[in-house]
Structure 1
Amino acid sequence: MPESDSPIKPVITNVSFPARFVPLHWTLDIENHTFNHYADQVNDLMAPLLAFSALEQWLALFDLQAREQAEQLIEQVLTQGDKRALNAVLRLSPDRAVYVVFSVERLSKQLLQGDIQPIFELTQVEQVIHWLEALLNHSAAGLLITNREHKVLGCNSAFERFTGFQQSDLLGLSSLWLFEESTDITGTSQPRVSIKHTSGISQAYHHQSIRLMDNDDHSVVLSLFSLVESAPALSVRPVMDKAAFIAQFESLHQNRMMNDLYVVMTLSVQQVNGAQLSMLLDVMPRLKECRLFGKIRDDLYLLCVTCPLPMMGEPFRYIHARIRGFFQELKQASAETHRTCIQGKIGISVLGLDAHTARMAVTHSVQAILEQGEEGEAQRIRFFDTQLHRQIKKRRLLEELVTDAIRNQSLLVEFQPIIDARLGQVMSYEALCRFPLPAALEVSNSELISIAEDLDLITELDLQVQQQALRQWPILQAQHEYPIWLTVNISPNTRQGLPALIQCLRQLMASEQVPAERIIIDITQAKYHSQALVRSDALQELRQLGVQIAIDDMGTDYSLFDHLSASDFDYLKISRSCIDGLGNQTNRYQVIKMLVEMCHSLGVKVIAEGVESEEEAQLLAFGRLDYLQGFYFAKPLAMDDLLAFIESTLPQRLQLIAPQEESLSASSLMSLHHAHSPRLDPGDPISLAYQYFQSADVEVLPVIIDQECVGLVDRARLNLHLTPGMGSELETMKEASMWHRPVNQVMELTFTSIDAAIDVSQIPLLIREHHLGFPWILTKGKIYKGILTQSVILQYLVEQPQSVDFMI
């Protein structure tokens, strides 16, 4: 590049632009080699790519060097997990090419996603391609692509090196803040510009701009930069001071693309020699996790780390993970510098939590250092926010306890029965992990399991629980005269991958001699791409051996309709969140019933988790759910406690949904009664009755106390106590409270009782001569046995030959 200081005129090259540059989105499942892609809007520019079924076909359109770079990029993202991008020329045909940004990011350990974002189209292909490829691959020349609004569209690796930013960090941001004095590089060319590096150093570069435009005045500007080797330093600072750090920090925060949290750390390093200090200043600006690095004084340094703001859950988990990732990267880059930092003190503030401005975050991080005092070796890291400090401190303690429990194989296993709602008996026992931790820690088991996932210890956890459960299965089977199943959990959020975990489970089943047809595998909620997991060859091979598959929790990633239509699993588990408040929410009950009907039509059975009350158990059993699980029947128990519970308490809980054992004649009135007809308790709210009446099969509800019917509630009587606004958006607080009225305040006290043992042949006589009104409450002595409505009796008479004579 010439070193003349004379102005260089922009070069104008005609290119054609399509109406819109719509990106192509793609996902790639590494394990199953599944490649999917789509575009928000199809146009003629990128339409040829939609016909491809493999990522390799896209990459084949790059030149050899760009193709190798793309493959290396994918490998780097898989191992390091960062979002990366590169620029390349895509040859769509011999006379047509598109300059694109190819981006990749990792969603899980085997799932990638990315975009192909077209920037502009070239029609003078052969000559222009060679020219553009030379610029892209030039190791000493930085290339920055912007539009007329100064927005960054792309850059090459040399420009990334000049600025210290990754291309993915710059896309869509204004280019002005990259230069000293907000240089406008899109208007007139300047022979020299000064680019600010993330380390705080400003360096002079030769500069030339090339504007590409079409007849419609759509344009992009290609700006070329090369280092001025012998030029005097322009505002060169080895490390930014505090004021410069705050200014850069404010600029970074204002130009953010995503709603991130910004973690500011103040490092207090003491008793370091010149070599250690030099290494610290050299290593820090080069760390990928370190967005900014600055200096307050010789023993006090500032740095900034970004953390994505979670859509749900507590942010401290993500903040802790990002800080841990920073120190892991620092240790890999320089063990000496890592030791220097952790031997000092560290104060932390989070912009977005305890601070609202960049200056406040810096001040808080310094104050956190000062507040440490002489707290000893264990208090080298302190957060300014007291609550956040306690949360992170507790998180670190829990990580140590979880690691010790898994490494020492001290995990406990408890079992919770899963009840057959039709037969009223135990169908399976689910093996659940429990950590031997003090109750004073007040931590949920799900949080501990998520910690094991974050520490990549979930595979070891699953295998330990599976081994203990399989070993104890014969004891559980001995408690029942019929075959039962054992449900074991598998988390797909594992670094080893699902196939390796399945293979270990098969070996455990063989060693413990547990039949495959007695095992249910519960796939707990996956972070990403559960459909591919359920359809994996390893899991489907187990199904062929007789193992059944259950999908747990219906998380946001589950494509339920795809799963159901493909018949990939045997059971669908709906979580507590789906049935919470079921008695008061009509729409929720109807949705669950529709879901159950759809599952049954496709051969999938439904398990309701988290059943905590008799009311919920009644509703779900009447709603045709297959299996029920929850604290109402039994909480998870260790084996000894479970055996005692099975003998003493569980049979009483099962009476609610168990079909009544009848010794009456098959021709008695009792034979016409539906075995699972719902019933009410006098204290049940009228909202429960209202839920039952949403089913056309329910005409009247008996109110039972101590196995004796004391009243009836039918639709007409219930409607007398409802208002038009109840259950609607116009419902008042007074009307909302009316749902909680007990049914004993609205029930009918006068009704017809009749002996359940009477033969059905006596029905005409009962109606014609005794004039018994409906409904009939069937009893055995005073004990309630069932209920017959007028429609049931009419249906029976219509089906009988003698009913014609009777009706006449």
Structure 2
Amino acid sequence: MEKLVSNTGSVDKYQLHSKDSFIASAEAQIKDMKYRCLNLVVAFKFSADASDVEKFESRALSLKCVRLFAKVQSNLYLASLCEPSFSGQNQFRQMCQVIKNFFDELMAYSPKAHQAAKKCCIGISALGHDSDTVASAVVHAIQATMSNTGDDGTQHLCFFSTTLQAQLKRERVLENYLQQVIRNSALRVTYQPIINARTWQIAGYEALCRFPSTEQLKADTREMIGIAEELDLVSEIDLMVYQKSFTDFVSQLREEGNFINVNLSPNTSENIGLLFDFVEFLATSVDLDMSQIVIDVNELKPNSKPFEFREVLPRLKDKGTRVALDDMGMGFDIAYYLESGCFDLLRISRSFFRNFSESGTHHQVVKLLIQLCHKYHIEVIAEGVETLEEAQLLAYLGVDYMQGYVFSHPLEMDELKRSLAEVHERIKLVTHCNYDEPACGDASGGADVMALAEKNLPHMDPGEPISLAYEYQRSLEAEVLPVINRGECVGLIDRPTLNLHLTPAMGTKLETSKEAAIWNKPVAGVMNVHFPRVEKSMPMSELIELVRSNRLSLPVVVVEEGRYKGVITQRQMIQQLTNMCGPN
């Protein structure tokens, strides 16, 4: 017999408790827990003439998912259900999954007991949501059994919390809708271009599923995929996307060297190796070479079946298909996966670079991550790129591919074909550093200085160390680094300024302990605090004249009401003057 031990002594898991014993034992178990858990108290109320009640009692008492079981009256039972809870999980979905696990286990153990449980009134109380103590949860669960009897005389699951009950009704609507979409093959597929950050050409397209009419249901694709994973239907969705996207790619988008990028959820009971066999079958049926397929392996959720990637991915890679690790959530141990040799690409989400403008630390994190990937011969795709500045800086940091709204929203095939010319124009804006090439002899074409400023430079905080500035200038060949404090540029660091504080022995075996300490000095002590500033509204022609007449020296910081907007470097100015004075 399995025992659950608490500070109060030994609790027999298989004991049929009284109501008071149930409350005391559950409180003791919760007090003794050393990790965060979801705790539910579930009441089962049977009709007076219900059959198989005793069978339900004996079977439910033995279920692994039931921590405690109590008989309150001849037709009223209580169960304590508990499961570890992880940060980032949808708690309501987890509640539904815990209840589902109970019924699945009961069905496997005794179909008759399962049938009896389906006919009874079931009330649920969630500790931490509608109750703070087990005693109040018991009262709430029993009260919940008395409401919402169905038209057929049976009882639907009923939460005591009206908020949770409303969520339950919505969840059921979404589940029915999802099943209908799959049954009718009504899933839509959109495509988002993936840009090669070296050649600045479209390298491929990611195929993304979309559910029709989800606006009315107020549900997004992420939520629908989460429901599909819980219902174990996500592999059906994946296969529908493969079939549609492979056909579209071959007939509409395929060019030499480009690829179609599809997603695979490992949160499924299906055999992953068998799914890969389907991928090969679908590709062969439309004459698509396996080398033109990239498969993103999505995040593995807590409590999902382990994904034995070392067993199945090499077989896929042997056929030429590339495999991408999709982001780094709690389901992935990044170092373990990168060094496995099973992955060719890593996707980084917008969360890694959306704060570029706030802190130079974010540049360092992304740069180190890219360097780590390249060490293992893994290319990096940045997704969710929304601005020209982000695209330029990511390319500057060494990202291999990028995609996002700055180039194109995900579009259905017909609309994508019409929009490809616009995508190429957006790429040109990135590669031309976001300033116009003026006509020969024209001072600026009427542009202001922001058209000339470098807005994608990494920047530093005053307290960051000299070693970081050195690394930026060494690895990124940055001409100048702005030092930003609360949105204001308080200093500049260029290579000559930095070299004044370094010695030839630093970074070598001859480095002394005194020299080693210099690396940790804050850049605030070495930066140049005397530099010209100009307002972003200044005409470019005026700036060029000031520089030509030696009334203004470079680099120049561009500001708007005192807040940093960019830097105009000597390199930028030379390029501009070259454009102006090129051959006639």
TM normalised by structure 1 equals: 0.55
Look up the SS of the partner of 1:296 in the other structure: strand
1:562-711 equivalences under 5 Å are 562-647=336-421, 649-658=422-431, 681=450, 690=459, 695-696=472-473, 697-699=477-479
Question: Cα offset for 1:469?
Answer: 0.8
Look up the SS of the partner of 1:305 in the other structure: strand
Question: Cα offset for 1:320?
Answer: 0.8
Question: Cα offset for 1:305?
Answer: 1.6
Question: Cα offset for 1:347?
Answer: 1.2
User: Measured at CA, do residues 612 and 379 of structure 1 come closer, stay the same or move farther in structure 2, by a change above 3 Å?
Assistant: farther
Question: Cα offset for 1:360?
Answer: 0.4
Q: Indicate yes or no: 2:518 matched with 1:744.
A: no
User: Measured at CA, do residues 640 and 718 of structure 1 come closer, stay the same or move farther in structure 2, by a change above 3 Å?
Assistant: same
User: Measured at CA, do residues 746 and 379 of structure 1 come closer, stay the same or move farther in structure 2, by a change above 3 Å?
Assistant: farther
CA distance in 2, matches of 1:381, 1:519: 44
CA contact (8 A) 1:565 1:602 kept: yes
Code of the residue aligned with 1:314 in structure 2: it is N
Question: Cα offset for 1:616?
Answer: 1.5
1:527-546 equivalences under 5 Å are 527=301, 533-536=308-311, 538-546=312-320
CA distance in 2, matches of 1:606, 1:422: 12
CA distance in 2, matches of 1:559, 1:545: 26
Look up the SS of the partner of 2:203 in the other structure: strand
Residue number in structure 2 paired with 1:798: none
Question: Which 5+ residue runs of structure 2 have no aligned equivalent?
Answer: 441-447, 462-467, 492-532, 557-567, 576-584
CA contact (8 A) 1:421 1:658 kept: no
1:92-491 equivalences under 5 Å are 160=1, 166-167=2-3, 169-170=4-5, 173-174=6-7, 176-178=9-11, 198-200=14-16, 240-273=17-50, 276-372=52-148, 380-477=156-253, 483-491=257-265
User: Measured at CA, do residues 517 and 743 of structure 1 come closer, stay the same or move farther in structure 2, by a change above 3 Å?
Assistant: farther
CA distance in 2, matches of 1:197, 1:691: 58
Structure whose alpha-carbon radius of gyration is higher:
1
Look up the SS of the partner of 2:212 in the other structure: coil
Look up the SS of the partner of 2:80 in the other structure: strand
The one-character-per-residue Cα deviations of 1:4-49 (angstroms, maximum 9, x if unpaired) are xxxxxxxxxxxxxxxxxxxxxxxxxxxxxxxxxxxxxxxxxxxxxx
The one-character-per-residue Cα deviations of 1:275-326 (angstroms, maximum 9, x if unpaired) are 5333233333222323333333333332222222233222111111111111
CA distance in 2, matches of 1:720, 1:411: 45
TM normalised by structure 2 equals: 0.74
The one-character-per-residue Cα deviations of 1:511-567 (angstroms, maximum 9, x if unpaired) are 11011222212222234799974433x422332332222221123343433444454
Higher relative contact order at CA 8 Å, sep ≥6: structure 1 or structure 2? Answer: 2
CA contact (8 A) 1:553 1:574 kept: yes
Look up the SS of the partner of 1:456 in the other structure: coil
Residue number in structure 1 paired with 2:321: 547
Residue number in structure 2 paired with 1:140: none
CA distance in 1, matches of 2:153, 2:309: 47
Question: Cα offset for 1:361?
Answer: 0.5
User: Measured at CA, do residues 246 and 527 of structure 1 come closer, stay the same or move farther in structure 2, by a change above 3 Å?
Assistant: closer
CA distance in 2, matches of 1:683, 1:263: 61
The one-character-per-residue Cα deviations of 1:756-801 (angstroms, maximum 9, x if unpaired) are xxxxxxxxxxx9xx99997699xxxxxxxx98549999xxxxxxxx
CA distance in 1, matches of 2:375, 2:35: 44
- Tell me how many residue pairs correspond in the alignment: 499
Code of the residue aligned with 2:75 in structure 1: it is D
State percent identity of aligned pairs: 30
CA distance in 2, matches of 1:776, 1:261: 58
User: Measured at CA, do residues 497 and 303 of structure 1 come closer, stay the same or move farther in structure 2, by a change above 3 Å?
Assistant: same
Look up the SS of the partner of 1:583 in the other structure: coil
Look up the SS of the partner of 1:402 in the other structure: helix
Question: Cα offset for 1:589?
Answer: 1.2
CA distance in 2, matches of 1:438, 1:316: 20
CA distance in 1, matches of 2:424, 2:243: 29
CA distance in 2, matches of 1:251, 1:718: 51
CA distance in 1, matches of 2:332, 2:138: 42
CA distance in 1, matches of 2:383, 2:185: 28
Residue number in structure 2 paired with 1:55: none
CA distance in 1, matches of 2:88, 2:484: 45
Look up the SS of the partner of 1:347 in the other structure: strand
User: Measured at CA, do residues 375 and 385 of structure 1 come closer, stay the same or move farther in structure 2, by a change above 3 Å?
Assistant: farther
Code of the residue aligned with 2:310 in structure 1: it is R
User: Measured at CA, do residues 507 and 424 of structure 1 come closer, stay the same or move farther in structure 2, by a change above 3 Å?
Assistant: same
The one-character-per-residue Cα deviations of 1:403-450 (angstroms, maximum 9, x if unpaired) are 333344332211111112233221100111222343122222122222
CA distance in 2, matches of 1:715, 1:278: 76
CA contact (8 A) 1:699 1:715 kept: no
Look up the SS of the partner of 1:488 in the other structure: strand
Pairing partner for 1:722 from 486, 489, 499: 489
CA contact (8 A) 1:524 1:551 kept: yes
Code of the residue aligned with 1:306 in structure 2: it is C
CA contact (8 A) 2:119 2:155 kept: no
Look up the SS of the partner of 2:90 in the other structure: coil
User: Measured at CA, do residues 559 and 405 of structure 1 come closer, stay the same or move farther in structure 2, by a change above 3 Å?
Assistant: same
* Aligned-residue RMSD, C-alpha: 4.2
Question: Which 5+ residue runs of structure 1 have no aligned equivalent?
Answer: 1-159, 161-165, 179-195, 201-239, 669-678, 701-713, 725-740, 755-766, 778-785, 794-808
Code of the residue aligned with 2:258 in structure 1: it is I
Look up the SS of the partner of 1:535 in the other structure: helix
Code of the residue aligned with 2:489 in structure 1: it is L
